């Protein structure tokens, strides 16, 4: 198998079986400042969850995945362990795998193993904002699978979809795992999946990992963990504002709470000011005023049922073909096929 790439300047051949594209993305730093300014000026203050994930935030998220209350990661792994060969068999071969937000790619090896049991070689395209995560995961996977080739993209995945750098030639199985789709408002989720379906061919497929709607107490406990790891994860965005934008947030002046809104179908996370405060942010030349108990909305984590999934699929150019779940129906991996 060979990949032909015509003269990109941002391409690093890391090894014989590993190519890395790096998006310059200078606009990312600028957008953090702009988004903090507009988010903290709004009547309902808000900050976007994508800013949780600097090195510390990513480490805190890994810790969340180990919490007994946070069943999502563990349950998705169980489903993949059990059904990866069935998932691979549901798509025509030979296939290539594209993964949006690959992270450590720890769960992906199950699908890669199943694909390599069904075909001679495999091209894997992981996309992640963190190039160190891409190096780490590619090295581990290439060491484990000798018939694997990796073309990685260190970038925002929307940007990769837009840039047309992602070149696939065979049947595509795209992966968007870990309930990451849950961070998008319903209309944004349709737009993102729509961009995915528009980038691939009819018959190509997407495996989408989603957390299922369930009892509010279980959902809320998964986010309000008693150890306080999730609170630290959320407060890290304030710490980032302090570090990167010269902010003066007192992290102890905020508490954290998450609650399930069954009407919207989302767990909404908030940082709550414990007293009235005025917080200067030097790089933005602004002072942010907080009343006692005023909140900053930091994240929505949407939950789905089968009807939600078929509606989402249908609106974004896919058809819901199959749903694999655990025995307790806590989590699901859905196969959406491009129509």
Our CA angle for 210, 214, 219, nearest 5°, is 80
Spatial contact of 280 and 255, defined as CB atoms under 8 Å apart:
no
**What's the min distance (Å) between Cβ of 76 and ligand AVJ?**
10
Nearest residue (CB) to ligand AVJ, 14 versus 65: 65
Q: Supply φ then ψ for residue 107, to 5 degrees.
A: -80, -25
Q: CA-CA distance, 318 to 321, in Å (whole number)?
A: 9
Can you tell me which residue has the tokens 């694997």?
Answer: 148
Q: Is 298 in the site for ligand AVJ (CB under 6 A)?
A: no
Stretch that binds ligand AVJ, among 135-143, 177-185, 190-198, 212-220 (CB under 6 A): 177-185
Count of other CB atoms within 10 angstroms of residue 70: 19
Containing 97, the helix (H) or strand (E) segment is strand 95-100
Q: Is 179 in the site for ligand AVJ (CB under 6 A)?
A: yes
Closest CA to 47 of 55, 102, 57: 57
**What's the min distance (Å) between Cβ of 339 and ligand AVJ?**
27
Spatial contact of 152 and 21, defined as CB atoms under 8 Å apart:
yes
Across 74-110, b (16+ Cβ under 10 Å) vs e yields ebbbbbbeebbeebbebbeeebbbbbbbbbbbebbbb
Stretch that binds ligand AVJ, among 114-122, 174-182, 247-255, 317-325 (CB under 6 A): 174-182
Tokens of 154: 């260190």
Q: CA-CA distance, 176 to 192, in Å (whole number)?
A: 11
User: Using the rule CB under 6 A, which residue among 77, 131, 183, 310 binds ligand AVJ?
Assistant: 183
Stretch that binds ligand AVJ, among 40-48, 178-186, 197-205, 307-315 (CB under 6 A): 178-186
User: Using the rule CB under 6 A, which residue among 39, 182, 247, 317 binds ligand AVJ?
Assistant: 182
Tokens of 124: 């894997």
End-to-end CA distance of the chain: 28
Our CA angle for 207, 318, 116, nearest 5°, is 35
Stretch that binds ligand AVJ, among 107-115, 176-184, 249-257, 305-313 (CB under 6 A): 176-184
Compose the 259-288 pattern: x for residues touching ligand AVJ by CB under 6 A, - for all others.
------------------------------
User: Using the rule CB under 6 A, which residue among 51, 223, 249, 318 binds ligand AVJ?
Assistant: 223
Compose the 2-41 pattern: x for residues touching ligand AVJ by CB under 6 A, - for all others.
----------------------------------------
Q: Is 64 in the site for ligand AVJ (CB under 6 A)?
A: yes
Query: Rule CB under 6 A: which of 74-113 touch ligand AVJ?
Result: none
DSSP 8-class letter at 212: B
Nearest residue (CB) to ligand AVJ, 20 versus 206: 206
User: Using the rule CB under 6 A, which residue among 20, 36, 40, 72 binds ligand AVJ?
Assistant: 72
Q: List contacts with ligand AVJ (CB under 6 A).
A: 64, 72, 178-180, 182-183, 223, 230, 299, 301
């Amino acid at each position: 198998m060979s990949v032909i790439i015509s003269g990109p300047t941002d391409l690093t051949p890391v090894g014989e079986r590993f190519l890395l594209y790096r998006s310059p993305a200078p606009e990312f730093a600028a957008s953090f400042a702009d988004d903090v300014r507009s988010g903290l000026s709004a009547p309902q203050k808000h900050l976007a969850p994508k800013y949780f994930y600097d090195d510390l935030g990513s480490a805190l998220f890994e810790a969340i995945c180990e919490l007994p209350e946070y069943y999502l990661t563990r349950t998705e792994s169980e489903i993949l362990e059990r059904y990866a060969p069935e998932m691979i068999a549901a798509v025509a071969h030979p296939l290539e795998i594209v993964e949006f937000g690959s992270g450590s790619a720890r769960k992906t090896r199950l699908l890669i193993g199943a694909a390599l049991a069904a075909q001679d070689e495999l091209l894997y395209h992981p996309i992640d904002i963190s190039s160190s995560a891409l190096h780490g995961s590619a090295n581990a996977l290439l060491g484990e699978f000798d018939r694997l080739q990796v073309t990685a993209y260190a970038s925002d995945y929307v940007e990769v979809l837009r840039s047309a750098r992602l070149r696939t030639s065979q049947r595509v199985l795209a992966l968007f795992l870990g309930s990451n789709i849950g961070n998008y408002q319903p209309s944004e989720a349709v737009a993102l999946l729509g961009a995915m379906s528009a980038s691939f061919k009819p018959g190509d497929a997407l495996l989408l990992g989603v957390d299922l709607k369930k009892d509010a107490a279980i959902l809320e406990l998964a986010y309000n963990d008693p150890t306080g790891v999730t609170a630290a994860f959320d407060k890290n965005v304030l710490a980032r504002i302090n570090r990167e934008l010269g902010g003066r947030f007192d992290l102890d002046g905020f508490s954290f709470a998450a609650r399930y809104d069954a009407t919207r179908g989302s767990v909404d996370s908030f940082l709550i000011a414990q007293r009235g405060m005025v917080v200067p942010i030097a790089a933005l030349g602004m002072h942010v005023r907080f009343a006692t108990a005023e909140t900053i909305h930091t994240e929505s984590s949407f939950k789905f049922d089968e009807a939600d999934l078929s509606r989402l699929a249908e609106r974004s150019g896919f058809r819901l073909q199959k749903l694999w779940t655990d025995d307790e129906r806590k989590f699901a991996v859905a196969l959406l096929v491009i129509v």
